[in-house]
A and B are shown apart, each in its own frame.
Chain A
């Protein structure tokens, strides 16, 4: 149990376009999901906390109008990178907790975004 999927696994888009990444909890309901970004040879940086039925909470320095997060159901959160630029090219990973109060986060397989 506790499987998290992401789609797509990789995507190439042109500068100025928008890209949507989906994060799904396959066998459990997740009221909270997390979105991370990881540049090559760097650590995971938390971008935002996605809460089902309410607005996401963004970390300092993350533009909420550029990285739109929608957590419309207990099994799906989406991250839309709007007006993408080459510097947005990165590995985007989502995670979820099995239950509120659990310490372990289950990570999705990640989405490799390349903006040309």
Chain B
């Protein structure tokens, strides 16, 4: 089975940096995904890590350590529109999602 943990909530100031951690315990591992979900909307894809290391994509970066079962999503230069839930998911053909981290960006 899959056990995926991430913090429930985080608050940060506009322009700041926030790091969302995700730890996982899985029976098999094929990749780790991060999705953004605004309230009442479907998730949108942010990043995918299959190998250890940092993947950078604009203001968003994602890191993976397979030996530690650990990932983080780094959001830089926070904007108000970044207020959303961020979902960590593990899998390949089928995805198992964490409960999500609600990030609130304050002016």
Contact = CB atoms under 8 A, between A and B. Distances in A.
5 closest A-B pairs by CB:
A107-B42, A43-B97, A43-B99, A44-B97, A110-B42
Interface in B15-42: 31, 33, 40-42
B13 interface: no
Contacts of A104: 45, 48
Q: How large is the interface on B (under 10, 10 to 19, 20 to 34, 35 or more residues)?
A: 10 to 19
Interface string A77-116: 0000000000000010100000000011111111010000
Interface in A8-42: 34, 41-42
Interface in B78-102: 87, 92, 94-100
B94 A110 contact: no
Contact of B43 (A45, A46, A107, A112): A107
For the residues of A in contact with B, the DSSP-based class is strand
27 contacts: A34-B95, A42-B99, A43-B87, A43-B97, A43-B98, A44-B43, A44-B87, A44-B97, A45-B97, A46-B94, A46-B95, A46-B96, A91-B40, A93-B43, A103-B31, A103-B33, A103-B50, A103-B92, A104-B45, A104-B48, A105-B45, A105-B95, A107-B43, A107-B44, A109-B42, A110-B41, A112-B40
